[in-house]
Amino acid sequence: MSQIVEIVSEPSATKNLGESSDTQALHAHFCPNFQPIYHLALDGLQPDVGHEVLWVIREVLSGEIVLARALLNSSQEELAALLTEAKEVLSVPVSGIISDGQQAIRKAVVSVFPAVPHQLCHFHYLREAVVLQKFLSSSKMIV
């Protein structure tokens, strides 16, 4: 029998910025329009092929987990539902999303956060750059 893992919480906007109440007071005084924002990272962890995937959405700056859930299916629809739930939990706007760039994730992010920038994590971005360089080098396009 599979175990259901579920964590749903809202990270503290001041915690993720590492701010004390004095710093918050300074922001309020000198930057009255200051709005905390979240950057989210979405990643799936699959221990073995054919098993559930544990999807984790965390706030990047603080590292706090916003939502974690095991899913049997990693389809665009399932991931969009997961992102929608995370969006409903958060009271602070999301200004960016980072993932490994799977097509299902890309489509889910666009459907739930159409105006929010989405980028590859550095590891996957650099890995793709190396693959492209190897391809271009092998085809004699890079001298």
What is the secondary structure of 40-84 as a DSSP string? EEEEEE-SSTTS-EEEEEEETTT--EEEEEEES---HHHHHHHHH
The answer to whether position 37 is within a domain reads yes
- The per-residue pLDDT for range 1-21, each reduced to its tens digit, is 344 444 555 555 444 444 555
Helix (H, G, I), strand (E, B) or coil at 123: helix
Total tally of structural domains belonging to the chain: 1
The CATH number assigned to the domain holding 40 equals 3.30.420
Q: What is the pLDDT of residues 103-122, one digit of tens each?
A: 999 999 999 999 999 988 76
0.75 cut: is pTM over it?
no
Within-domain flag for 143: no
Nearest by Cα to 106 from 71, 67, 79, 66 = 79
* Boundaries of domain holding 21: 6-138
Give pLDDT tens digits along the chain (143 positions): 344 444 555 555 444 444 555 666 666 667 767 677 889 999 998 877 778 899 999 998 888 999 999 998 889 999 999 999 999 999 888 999 999 888 999 999 999 999 999 988 766 656 677 777 777 777 665 55
Percent of the chain with pLDDT over 90: 38
In a domain, 1, yes or no: no
Structural domain includes residue 53: yes
Domain assignment of residue 31, yes or no: yes
